[in-house]
């Protein structure tokens, strides 16, 4: 097999790797290395597919907010709106959320019981108050991911699929990468390996334990009455569930689970599905008619739950684009723009120029221990 020589090798062709390749493909030679036959098979293909400005809190919001107009320009956003709901035990969480939304300049409305019932017909009387976050949107994730990949390829990026990275070795001033599809020589390695980010870092001699994957479950249900298409995304203020409508009157429901696991091709646990349905039945008066399918994916976080963009302070030529947690779709365009500027050592362009890149730098994670 011949050796491929390139400027930058990006490990992982999920949303993180694809968006970054799309941003820099015309400014450097890129090889995108993907283990699976189908890029997007892991977290990217398993998301709940929404853009919600408050999701992830103040440290994620700058990336989400900056991504909003960019996603809109891609034509991948569709109106949804969120209603955060609270029972008596959730009142305090709802108040903190209102303060956070106000602090972040995010448009919101406070809903009394009557307004809540009108927005979510069938919500049980225990839920007395809510907060509407109307700017929330659904994202067409498959289209966005396909666009980024197509843009990268059009700019000359080579996509290697079925190409698990087996080893990374520092050779001279660059890297030798052993993949099942052949050897790649690169000046810079980008770690966009999602749940495997720590494993890839370990191979390269960078700090291996920065990123921890957590399992998150979604179940698709047929419910009675069927959901209406304009039902908002409904989020429990205490973080016990969220649900949103799906085509054909169906419902996507998550128990908002967050179970630490080793990176793998994750499947849903029966218990998490049962917990989700139980929490739904405590929240609304609808009847669950059928459990149609369930899936799980991995959301991978640094300890402080902010993404990691930047060169590793200890492994020269090793760049982090990882730890996007539960927000890697809604932050993708701005995250990739910021990462591209850091990677190419150029000033960040206007949509992200006001973002403090230091809060996403790998060394802040090292310093925190």
Ligand X SMILES: Cc1cc2nc3c(=O)[nH]c(=O)nc-3n(C[C@H](O)[C@H](O)[C@H](O)COP(=O)(O)OP(=O)(O)OC[C@H]3O[C@@H](n4cnc5c(N)ncnc54)[C@H](O)[C@@H]3O)c2cc1C
Chain residues that interact with ligand X, rule: CB under 6 A: 11-17, 33-36, 39, 41-44, 46-50, 164-165, 192-196, 200, 216, 218, 297-299, 324-330
Dist CA 137 CA 79 (whole Å): 5
Nearer to ligand X, 142 or 368 (CB): 142
Cβ neighbours, 10 Å, residue 3: 10
Query: Does residue 246 contact residue 228 with C-beta atoms inside 8 Å?
Result: no
In the complex, the smallest distance separating the C-beta of residue 114 from ligand X, rounded to whole angstroms, is: 29
In the complex, the smallest distance separating the C-beta of residue 321 from ligand X, rounded to whole angstroms, is: 8
Nearer to ligand X, 115 or 259 (CB): 259
Nearer to ligand X, 117 or 164 (CB): 164
Instruction: List the one residue out of 26, 103, 126, 94 whose CA is nearest residue 340.
Output: 26
| H or E, element range at 17 | helix 15-24
Nearer to ligand X, 111 or 144 (CB): 144
Q: HSE of 357 in the Cβ direction (CA atoms, 13 Å)?
A: 23
In the complex, the smallest distance separating the C-beta of residue 202 from ligand X, rounded to whole angstroms, is: 11
In the complex, the smallest distance separating the C-beta of residue 214 from ligand X, rounded to whole angstroms, is: 8
**276-296 burial by CB neighbour count: b if 16+ within 10 A, else e?**
bbebbeebbebebeeeeebeb
**Beta partners for residue 303, in sequence order:** none
In the complex, the smallest distance separating the C-beta of residue 247 from ligand X, rounded to whole angstroms, is: 17
Nearer to ligand X, 286 or 327 (CB): 327
What does DSSP say about strands 242-246 and 259-260: parallel, antiparallel, or unpaired? unpaired
In the complex, the smallest distance separating the C-beta of residue 33 from ligand X, rounded to whole angstroms, is: 5
Query: Does residue 221 contact residue 248 with C-beta atoms inside 8 Å?
Result: no
Nearer to ligand X, 44 or 157 (CB): 44
DSSP 173-231: TEEEEEETTEEEEEEEEEE--GGGHHHHHHHHTS-TTS-EEEEEEEEEEEEESPPPTTP
Nearer to ligand X, 62 or 129 (CB): 62
Nearer to ligand X, 6 or 43 (CB): 43
In the complex, the smallest distance separating the C-beta of residue 310 from ligand X, rounded to whole angstroms, is: 15
Instruction: List the one residue out of 358, 365, 214, 361 whose CA is nearest residue 302.
Output: 365
Question: Which residues, including other chains, have CB under 8 Å from residue 41's CB and lie 6 or more apart?
Answer: none
In the complex, the smallest distance separating the C-beta of residue 290 from ligand X, rounded to whole angstroms, is: 20
């Amino acid at each position: 097999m011949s050796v491929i020589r390139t400027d930058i090798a990006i490990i992982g062709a999920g949303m993180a790797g694809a968006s970054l390749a799309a941003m820099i493909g015309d400014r450097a030679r890129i090889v995108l290395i993907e283990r699976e036959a189908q890029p997007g098979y892991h977290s990217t293909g398993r998301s709940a597919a929404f853009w919600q400005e408050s999701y992830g809190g103040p440290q994620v919001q700058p990336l989400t907010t900056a991504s909003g107009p960019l996603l809109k320009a891609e034509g991948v956003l569709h109106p949804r709106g969120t209603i955060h709901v609270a029972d008596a035990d959730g009142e305090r969480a709802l108040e903190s959320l209102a303060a956070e939304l106000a602090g972040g300049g995010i448009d919101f409305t406070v809903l009394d019981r009557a307004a809540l019932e009108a927005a979510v017909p069938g919500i049980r009387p225990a839920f007395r108050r809510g907060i509407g976050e109307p700017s929330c949107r659904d994202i067409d994730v498959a289209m966005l991911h396909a666009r980024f990949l197509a843009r990268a390829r059009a700019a000359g990026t080579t996509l290697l699929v079925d190409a698990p990275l087996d080893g990374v070795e520092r050779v001279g001033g660059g890297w030798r990468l052993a993949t099942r599809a052949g050897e790649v020589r690169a000046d810079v390695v980008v770690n966009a390996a999602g749940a495997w980010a720590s494993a890839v870092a370990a191979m390269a001699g960078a700090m291996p334990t920065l990123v921890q994957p957590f399992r998150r479950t979604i179940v698709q249900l047929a419910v009675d009455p069927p959901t209406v298409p304009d039902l908002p995304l409904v989020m429990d203020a205490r973080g016990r569930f969220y649900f949103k409508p799906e085509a054909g009157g169906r419902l996507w429901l998550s128990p908002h689970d967050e179970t630490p696991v080793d990176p793998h091709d994750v499947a849903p646990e029966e218990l998490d599905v049962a917990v989700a349905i139980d929490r739904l039945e405590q929240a609304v008066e609808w009847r669950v008619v059928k459990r149609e399918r369930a899936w799980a994916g991995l959301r991978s976080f640094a300890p402080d739950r902010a993404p990691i963009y930047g060169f590793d302070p200890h492994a020269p030529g090793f760049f982090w684009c990882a730890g996007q947690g539960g927000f890697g779709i809604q932050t993708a365009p701005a995250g990739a723009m910021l990462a591209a500027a850091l990677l190419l050592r150029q000033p960040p362009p206007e949509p992200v120029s006001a973002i403090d890149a230091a809060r996403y730098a790998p060394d802040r994670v090292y310093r925190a221990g």
